[in-house]
Structure 1
């Protein structure tokens, strides 16, 4: 049952339909303190419509609200405060979770429509650095959340496997590369060559021209250029797959930039036919109101990211018929996506309205952006392995008899890294600190995982017998029930705002509420309330497990 929805319905009736239900739903607030109730409706906006004081309106609404789910309704300072009937509501919520299990919290705002999610998208021939963590874990979480919200997600890894950087890499390899060394440590050696190119190009600017020439050869399908490019690409994907395996992430498509090479002429032709292209200093551009023009072809005839992204958008719409298309790409690309979406709009494609850039802040090192070209890079695989090693050390010290120690250490270590990212609002920058990331107390993934494992242990010790019945939960459990009630709405808000941190903050709050309960109530005492208390524990375990899953984190049964 949706208790907020019930409040909306009775408010709608009390106001004789003067505000629509969507508006009412957005107006309902969560009071700051328990003594102010479980939900509150502010009447200040209605004062203008009804020409009465908010206090008078609150009193009038209070007199007209009537539902057995409300224990008390009061008018305070222009607010209608509602107190839910604790025992009846607790029984309803726990029975919902017992019957629905992991389906609890599912909302069908997506109506089974397709949503494409472009995320991770590392550049080949470069290491999978901490800089790629954000797009990877935010995108994966949004894919999982969108599925929970009723969409059909298509996960796309739009690999950076084309562009002038490959001209630079080919020049560097031909001048300073060693085939055997590259074969032994491909990514490490290719990064070294890439960094060396930039160091040398500062002294010898003509290297940039050589790189541009080699990239032009690559675009013209020169045999040597293509052969080197394929080698760099194959070795890179092998390395990336190790990281994705550790994180438990899979993709439906690895079509990178190169895949769209033969699809860009069509874009240029369409733009010409629609008379949208103009020449500007020898380049081809599409003018856009209130924005710089969108560059489609450079003076030397080479294409740009915009051309490629236009081709990719058209291909994805024709292939998947998406209702929404998300691009999980950093803040610094905001203008680029505004231009691409604006060009599609000028082309008359109504479906571009479903295209959304989901920006995020950077991971900083010592307050500065990590730069591959300067060699200031922290490898994501190494960070994950360090986190797993630390988790294993912790297990061996605190629970040496634990079964499957390596597997649990992987779940805890990768969970710590993912949670450290996703607990932050995505647009904020995050300072990289291995020490903070690997802490196992406070607002961390391992804290939530440990709470889940504690719940699992209690269920085994208490010999919990899952059954649906009239459950009589006492008032000390109400903070937990309040959190459980909120889960479906949190899922919906995380989807609507493309913000996985809503889920991360939620599971921390639920874990805290449960641990406070655990510290004050003797859950396993043998009396008539034991199975009811264990039903609450089971409900918490289900929702913590599902909340972590939506973040791309596993929940061990033991730790």
Structure 2
């Protein structure tokens, strides 16, 4: 709804400065709520006027700003126009603010903020997001949690704002690791154990074969031979590999279901093993492939072309590498999906790898490589259970559910739930997501079980608790939700604070889209919860006069809607009772 007010202010500026309205819209921002004093609602940066050439840098900008304010007369929408610090501030008439905001919240529901004029020039694009991407034949490591939830957030955000999104899980299902696993299973594998706990057994075999290989060179030779058999398509090796792959995907899907994450396609390195030969041939034909003294194939990426910086794309025995398969995958995806942009979500340790991929693709003449992006993230430290170090994501999800269920059982406010375990799981997962999304994605962070599951403070539990509390209020007063109300009955400062904060929602989505960082949305939602908690304490519905109760219910319903919308973008399933 900020769009109505932003557009109105832009029209006043357009009239005063004889510039198109669109010049001012990106420069008008909603002012963050201040609990200490009453504030204006929108700010126009004087710096933006200088950058757009509307004010000259040679001018006395403060004098010019004051003169401009004199020309911007208040009206029935804009109550006050004030000179701020290198800014012009606009205060909206409080009754108009209440009326327009609650009308829009009621009309637009889950589309609130999405229809903003901030997105009017946004091109709806086809976006392919590759995320999660664990290695098959290994249990889902807790480290893959970050890639999974960050990629899911990016896909959700893009979809919410009208993009066509392809969610891809690019499995690590090829390479020398399968040579080792194949050799290991032939030596230490057990059909019996594979039936009982398939992924755990494959993991145990992989750990053992790696340990044995440290002192036994023959294991490496067997592993190389097994991988060569795979590359050459030998039936026995491929059959065992396919079995491992099927087992893994089946188990992964159960974990993804718990997380509320889905994929449009499960791809993998193996899909592109035959295409690597075409990529290598193309590199050779273009004079980009060189052979080193060791017999490996490389692409020179140095600016001086002196081999001071290069990427190895084929082993001396002719087998493909991870990067070769990634190059083949990128080219194949462009042909298959005709994407406008492709986003890879992996840890920051792979930044160099993706830089090389993008450089090689550009050297091959693929201009679309410029629309490929790597979103890197830091590592999680200290993720432990009572049993010690957590290795597997299932353990983390189980632990969060158990701890959350214990906390809920101990709480006097917990409602009777149809499925307490399901609620505990959803709340536990939201707690994990919020702790992960609080800061910049590139930062490593220290995990704390005690902090993550607190009901008070800035946590996922607090988000869920606020949402459930607002849902409870709606259920108790469902007959009082009238679309018409008197805006004069909602003039308390805590009501205005919520509406002022909601003015910023479209800007937060816009900033999140630019940076692909969830922290802006997380901070916005947590602040909304704090404001809602204050309003819930000071604006009772029960016992208030009918008109006032109806107006307050509209405010709480709108708050609940935006809270749920934002949580869903983050990948959190809002609970209605807890």
Q: TM-score, normalised by structure 1?
A: 0.91
Query: 2:93 is matched with which residue?
Result: 85
Once the two structures are TM-superposed, the CA of residue 437 in structure 1 deviates from its matched residue by 2.9
> Does 474-483 or 188-197 show the bigger shift?
188-197
Once the two structures are TM-superposed, the CA of residue 492 in structure 1 deviates from its matched residue by 1.9
Once the two structures are TM-superposed, the CA of residue 514 in structure 1 deviates from its matched residue by 0.6
Once the two structures are TM-superposed, the CA of residue 539 in structure 1 deviates from its matched residue by 0.1
Matches within 5 A, 1:224-243: 224-243=236-255
- Pick aligned residue for 2:193 from 181, 186, 190: 181
Is residue 2:515 matched to residue 1:500?
no
> Does 238-247 or 2-11 show the bigger shift?
2-11
Is residue 2:284 matched to residue 1:266?
no
Q: In structure 2, how many angstroms separate the alpha carbons of the residues matched to 1:235 and 1:131?
A: 21
Matches within 5 A, 1:32-431: 33=34, 34-44=37-47, 49-66=56-73, 68-107=76-115, 108=119, 111-205=123-217, 207-281=219-293, 282-290=295-303, 292-365=309-382, 377-397=390-410, 398=412, 399=414, 401-431=416-446
Once the two structures are TM-superposed, the CA of residue 557 in structure 1 deviates from its matched residue by 1.5
Q: In structure 2, how many angstroms separate the alpha carbons of the residues matched to 1:508 and 1:155?
A: 28
Once the two structures are TM-superposed, the CA of residue 209 in structure 1 deviates from its matched residue by 3.9
> Does 90-99 or 290-299 show the bigger shift?
290-299
Change (3 A) 1:536 1:96: same
Q: Tell me, what secondary structure is at the counterpart of 1:122?
A: coil
Once the two structures are TM-superposed, the CA of residue 32 in structure 1 deviates from its matched residue by 7.6
- Pick aligned residue for 2:23 from 9, 21, 24: 21
Query: 1:450 is matched with which residue?
Result: 465
Change (3 A) 1:277 1:69: farther
Once the two structures are TM-superposed, the CA of residue 404 in structure 1 deviates from its matched residue by 3.2
CA-based RMSD of the aligned residues comes to 2.6
Aligned partners of 1:5 and 1:25 also within 8 Å: no
Q: Tell me, what secondary structure is at the counterpart of 2:143?
A: helix
Once the two structures are TM-superposed, the CA of residue 83 in structure 1 deviates from its matched residue by 2.0
> Does 231-240 or 176-185 show the bigger shift?
176-185
Gap runs ≥5 in structure 1: 368-374
Residues 174-220 of structure 1: CA distance to partner in whole angstroms, max 9, x if unpaired? 22232322322222222222222333333345543432332222211
Q: Tell me, what secondary structure is at the counterpart of 2:440?
A: coil
Q: In structure 2, how many angstroms separate the alpha carbons of the residues matched to 1:117 and 1:445?
A: 25
Once the two structures are TM-superposed, the CA of residue 554 in structure 1 deviates from its matched residue by 1.2
Residues 439-478 of structure 1: CA distance to partner in whole angstroms, max 9, x if unpaired? 3332111211111111111122233324156633314211
Aligned partners of 1:111 and 1:150 also within 8 Å: no
> Does 27-36 or 311-320 show the bigger shift?
27-36
Q: Tell me, what secondary structure is at the counterpart of 1:158?
A: strand
- Pick aligned residue for 2:542 from 524, 532, 545: 524
Q: In structure 1, how many angstroms separate the alpha carbons of the residues matched to 2:11 and 2:129?
A: 35
Aligned partners of 1:95 and 1:469 also within 8 Å: no
Change (3 A) 1:353 1:297: same
Change (3 A) 1:18 1:97: closer
Is residue 2:509 matched to residue 1:491?
yes
- Pick aligned residue for 1:551 from 524, 549, 570: 570
Aligned partners of 2:13 and 2:21 also within 8 Å: no
Change (3 A) 1:69 1:391: same
Aligned partners of 1:116 and 1:325 also within 8 Å: yes
Aligned partners of 1:383 and 1:434 also within 8 Å: no
Q: In structure 2, how many angstroms separate the alpha carbons of the residues matched to 1:318 and 1:56?
A: 57
Q: In structure 2, how many angstroms separate the alpha carbons of the residues matched to 1:239 and 1:431?
A: 28
> Does 454-463 or 47-56 show the bigger shift?
47-56
Query: 1:371 is matched with which residue?
Result: none
Residues 9-68 of structure 1: CA distance to partner in whole angstroms, max 9, x if unpaired? 54455444499727x725857468454533333435756834122321321221233464
Residues 469-509 of structure 1: CA distance to partner in whole angstroms, max 9, x if unpaired? 66333142111001211112212221221112222221111
Gap runs ≥5 in structure 2: none
Q: TM-score, normalised by structure 2?
A: 0.88
